[in-house]
Amino acid sequence: MSFTLIEAHAPVRLYRSKLFVPGSRPSLFEKAAAGPADVVCLDLEDAVAPSDKDAARANIVSALNEVDWRGKTITVRINGLDTDFCYRDVIALVEKGGERLDAIMIPKVGTAADVYAIDMLVTQASSFVGRRKRIGLEVIIETVLGLTNIDAIAASSKRLESLHFGSADYAASQRMRTTNIGGGNADYVMLTDKHPAQPRERHWNDLWHYPLFRMVQAARAHGLMAIDGPFGDYGDADGFNAQAMRTAILGCEGKWAIHPSQVALANAIYTPPEKEFERAEAILAAMADAQAKGLGAVALNGVLIDAASIRQAQTIVTQMTMIRERTRI
Ligand code: COA
Ligand code: MG
């Protein structure tokens, strides 16, 4: 281990699915609160038309005070720092939103100073109203500037809990020639080599691999959670599952749901398989036994396990414990 230790910033939260609900559709709030999403995000940004921003902000402030959100994590996505909605969003949420709000999500973050500015507003407004619970910050990486400055952004604030990848805005920012929100692109392919007897095959590549990989790496290096963003075609469960499985393997803890039908899919994919959980428990038991006998590395079913296996196993067991508690709520 390096002498520099990575401190976990984020409180331990279950974050398999994050359901977005436009602030301008308050009739959906109770449904979101009653559903199975781990996290609900009430949106003030792109799902709300400019003419509805003030009404949406008032709806969200009421809902934070009045709706029973059960054991869910509740976040609100504010408008970007390039708008004059932004400071009013922060002040209204912190001063009037009650103690239930867990975190504020900042879209289109480009530099560490963007997060610093919101941290300052949240800190001043929290102190003014004597807020007891600390409000966390979440950042969406969805511009080329944000991806370029990602390490500084990930280190920008003690309030920061998670980084999220937004594919549609990212693609627009880089002028990628695609209109997909997540998922594949049939023209982004490699051809197999020419062969006299066989037709050449087209192998699809993953357009989103680099920014997602980079984001997970930066998040983990700074003790933050890494969350995959939206998959636009909510009628395509297979496409959603394939995207979610890739990002679960890369290290993401969860994914956004832009329609309630995507929540159960995300919960299933980001829950460690039962077999992994059983193996994790067996590893912890075997290592406890080995340590009692003064041994460092031992074999479990013919495979080496050591101190690194304990760390991997503990992550899985902590997550499964939270999932079991959540399903009891
Ligand atoms: N939260 C909670 N419930 C929702 C919901 C949401 N985001 N979206 C739909 N529902 C409910 C509907 O009210 C409906 O309930 P009912 O069966 O009791 O009538 C049911 O789920 C099925 O909804 P459906 O008719 O298929 O969807 P819709 O046409 O009303 O809305 C969207 C589709 C995509 C516009 C809507 O899901 C939505 O606004 N999603 C969030 C978009 C967003 O915030 N984007 C920003 C982040 S990328
Ligand atoms: Mg966006």
Which pLDDT value is given to residue 291? 85
The arithmetic mean of pLDDT across residues 254-280, rounded, is 95
pLDDT at 28: 98
Q: State the chain's mean pLDDT as an integer.
A: 94
| pLDDT for residue 306 | 80
What would the mean pLDDT of 129-145 be, rounded to a whole number? 97
Pick the atom of ligand 1 nearest to 43's CA: 44
Asked whether 125 lines ligand 1 (CB < 6 A), one says no
CA dist 8 and 326 (Å) reads 22
The answer on pLDDT for 88 being more than 70 is yes
The pLDDT-based confidence of 328 (bands split at 50, 70, 90) is low
pLDDT more than 70, % of the chain = 98
Higher pLDDT, 241 or 12: 241
CA 205 to ligand 2 centroid distance, Å: 23
Distance 18 CA to ligand 1 centre (A): 13
Pocket flag, ligand 1, residue 32 (CB < 6 Å): yes
pLDDT in tens, 221-233: 999 999 999 999 9
- The mean per-residue pLDDT over the stretch 167-172 comes to 96
Between 107 and 326, the more confident residue is: 107
Ligand 1 site, residue 326, Cβ cutoff 6 A: no
Convert the pLDDT of each residue in 24-41 to its tens digit.
Answer: 999 999 999 999 999 999
